[in-house]
C-alpha cells in the first residue's frame, strides 16, 4: 500500500514534510487496476472469488465485532464542523472550498499545506487528524484524483466521533464500483485500490504460507507491474486450482452471515448500498461449499445514491445491522472443499446468465501484447520447486511405508488384546449378574425377617399391655380389701374401749 504525503510534483515543503514523517513507502502497481473495469467481461470466472468483510477486517486491522458500521447520513458535515477538526477559521476554509465534477470538497494540496503548518506548530494531535482525513479521501474512499470530497469527510467524522467502523463501507464501495462497471459500462474502478490490490494478489499469486500479516506479505513479495490488458489476461487464465482460497493471515472463526430480516448482509457504502452473500465466499474463510445457495440469496439488491430515493432503504439497512447473525462451527469442518452439487450449480449458473468465460489465448490474439504470458515465470519456478521436493517426498513415502508396517503390527496386537479383554469382560459380566441375583435373594430374606420381627414385637407389646391392665385390676382389689380391713379394725378398737 502506498502511503505518500506529497506527490511527485509537490513543492519543497511537501518533500520536507515527507522527510520529517519518516514514512516507509511501498509502491504497489494499483494504477492499472483502475482500467480493469472495462475488461471485466474477460475475468468473470473470478466471481467464485469475492472479497469478504473478515478479510478486509484483517487487512485494515479494524475488527467489526462490538462496533457499528458506518451509516450514511442524510446531510454532509457543515463547514464549521470540518473547520473545528482542521483547526482553521471557517472563513479561510470557505475560500479553500471547491467543487469538482459536481462533488464538493478540498484539494489534496490544501490539506497537505495544512499538515505542514500544524507540524511547524507541533500540534501533533490535529496533525494526525488532518493526515487521517487526507488518507480517507485519497486512499480509502477516492472519488477524484487528489481531491477529498465531503462524502469521505463524513466517513472520517463518523469513525472519529461516533466510533463507526469503515470496513463495511469499503467493501460496499468495491462491490458497487464492480457492479457499476459491469452493468453501466463504467471504465474505471473507483474504490480503495491498495486494499483491493492486497486482497487480489494474495489470492491469485502463490506466497509462503508462514506469513501471518497481509501488509508483511505485500512488503516482502511484489509482483511485476502489469498494464490493464496483462491483468485481464492473467485473471482470465486463473482457474480453481490456481486460487489460494484461504490466506494464512485469515484467523476468523465466526463470520457475519446475515443481518436482521435480510437473508444476506446489506452493505452501506459512500456511493451506494448493495447486498453481500458470504455463502458465496465462505471457502476463503476455510468453510466448505456444501451445495448450491438458496434462490433468495441470489436476488440482487443494488442502490446507487446518485439515482435518488434511497433514504427508506438505507434506514432499513441500518436497522438490520442492529441484529447481526454470526456462524462458525455449524458450517462444517474447516476446509476449502466444494461438493459436486455446488460445482454443477456453478456450471448451470454460467449457462443461465451467460458469463463469457474467455480463453486467455483468445484475448491475447484480439489485442497485441507480450506473447509470453506473465505467469510462465511463476510456473517455471513452481516446477523447479516441485522437482526439488520430489526426492524428499519419495523418502518420506518410504519412511511412512515402514512406519505403516510397524503400525499394522501394533494394530494386530491391539486387536488380539482387545479380544482377550472382551472375554474377561464377558466372564466378569456373568459373575456380576450372579452376584446381583444373590444380593436380591439376600435382600428378600432380610425383608421377611424384618416382617417377622415386627409381628413378634407387636405380639409382645399386646401381652405386656394385658399384664399391665391385670396388675392395675389386682391393685384396685387390694386397695378395696385394705379399706375393708381398716374399717373392721376401727370397729374392733371401738368395742374394746366400751
pLDDT tens sequence across 304-331: 887 777 788 888 988 999 899 998 888 8
Distance CA 404, CA 399 (A): 8
pLDDT at 58: 87
The secondary structure element, H or E, covering residue 361 is helix 360-366
Q: CB neighbours of 227 closer than 8 A, spacing ≥ 6? A: 32, 35, 369
- Stretch 17-40: mean pLDDT: 55
Whole-model pTM over 0.85: no
Longest dimension (CA), the chain: 173
| Of 244 and 98, more confident | 98
Let me know: does 238 contact 47? Beta carbons within 8 Å. no
Packed helices 79-86 and 124-135: angle between N→C axes, nearest 10 degrees: 130
Let me know: does 86 contact 130? Beta carbons within 8 Å. yes
- The candidate with the shortest Cα–Cα distance to 279, out of 331, 325, 239, 243, is 331
pLDDT at 373: 36
- The grid coordinates listed for 128 are 494526525
pLDDT at 138: 92
Amino acid at each position: 500500500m502506498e502511503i505518500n504525503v506529497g506527490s511527485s510534483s509537490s513543492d519543497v515543503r511537501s518533500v520536507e514534510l515527507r522527510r520529517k514523517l519518516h514514512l516507509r513507502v511501498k509502491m504497489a502497481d494499483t494504477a492499472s487496476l483502475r482500467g480493469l473495469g472495462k475488461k471485466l467481461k474477460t475475468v468473470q470466472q473470478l466471481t467464485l472469488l469475492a472479497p469478504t468483510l473478515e478479510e478486509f477486517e484483517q487487512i485494515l486491522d479494524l475488527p467489526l465485532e462490538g462496533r457499528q458500521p458506518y451509516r450514511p447520513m442524510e446531510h454532509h458535515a457543515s463547514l464549521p464542523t470540518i473547520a473545528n477538526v482542521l483547526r482553521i477559521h471557517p472563513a479561510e476554509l470557505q475560500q479553500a472550498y471547491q467543487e469538482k465534477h459536481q462533488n464538493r470538497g478540498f484539494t489534496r494540496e490544501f490539506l497537505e499545506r495544512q499538515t505542514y503548518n500544524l507540524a511547524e506548530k507541533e500540534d501533533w494531535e490535529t496533525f494526525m487528524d488532518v493526515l487521517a482525513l487526507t488518507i480517507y479521501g485519497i486512499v480509502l474512499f477516492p472519488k477524484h484524483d487528489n481531491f477529498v470530497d465531503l462524502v469521505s469527510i463524513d466517513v472520517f467524522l463518523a469513525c472519529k466521533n461516533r466510533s463507526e467502523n469503515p470496513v463495511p463501507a469499503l467493501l460496499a464501495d468495491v462491490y458497487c464500483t464492480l457492479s457499476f462497471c459491469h452493468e453501466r459500462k463504467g471504465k474505471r474502478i473507483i474504490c480503495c485500490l491498495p486494499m483491493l490490490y492486497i486482497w487480489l494478489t494474495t489470492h491469485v499469486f502463490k506466497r509462503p504460507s508462514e506469513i501471518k500479516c497481509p501488509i508483511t506479505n505485500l512488503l516482502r513479495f511484489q509482483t511485476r507491474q502489469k498494464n490493464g490488458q496483462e491483468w485481464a489476461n492473467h485473471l482470465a487464465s486463473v482457474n480453481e486450482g490456481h486460487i489460494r482460497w484461504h490466506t494464512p493471515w485469515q484467523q476468523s472463526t465466526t463470520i457475519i452471515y446475515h443481518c436482521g430480516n435480510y437473508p444476506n448482509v446489506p452493505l452501506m457504502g459512500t456511493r451506494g448500498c448493495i447486498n453481500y452473500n458470504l455463502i458465496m465466499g465462505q471457502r476463503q474463510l476455510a468453510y466448505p461449499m456444501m451445495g448450491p445457495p438458496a434462490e433468495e440469496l441470489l436476488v440482487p439488491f443494488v442502490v446507487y445514491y446518485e439515482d435518488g430515493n434511497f433514504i427508506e432503504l438505507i434506514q432499513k439497512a441500518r436497522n438490520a445491522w442492529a441484529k447481526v447473525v454470526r456462524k462458525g462451527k455449524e458450517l462444517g469442518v474447516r476446509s476449502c472443499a466444494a461438493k459436486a452439487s455446488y460445482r454443477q450449480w456453478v456450471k448451470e449458473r454460467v449457462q443461465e446468465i451467460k458469463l463469457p468465460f474467455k480463453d486467455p489465448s483468445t484475448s491475447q490474439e484480439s489485442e497485441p501484447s507480450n506473447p509470453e504470458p506473465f505467469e510462465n515465470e511463476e510456473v517455471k519456478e513452481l516446477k523447479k520447486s516441485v522437482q526439488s521436493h520430489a526426492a524428499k517426498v519419495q523418502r518420506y513415502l518410504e519412511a511412512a511405508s515402514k512406519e505403516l508396517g510397524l503400525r499394522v503390527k501394533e494394530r494386530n496386537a491391539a486387536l488380539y488384546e482387545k479380544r482377550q479383554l472382551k472375554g474377561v469382560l464377558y466372564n466378569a459380566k456373568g459373575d456380576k449378574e450372579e452376584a446381583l441375583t444373590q444380593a436380591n435373594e439376600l435382600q428378600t430374606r432380610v425383608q421377611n425377617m424384618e416382617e417377622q420381627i415386627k409381628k413378634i414385637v407387636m405380639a409382645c407389646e399386646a401381652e405386656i399391655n394385658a399384664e399391665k391392665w391385670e396388675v392395675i385390676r389386682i391393685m384396685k382389689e387390694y386397695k378395696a380389701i385394705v379399706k375393708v380391713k381398716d374399717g373392721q379394725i376401727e370397729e374392733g378398737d371401738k368395742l374394746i374401749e366400751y
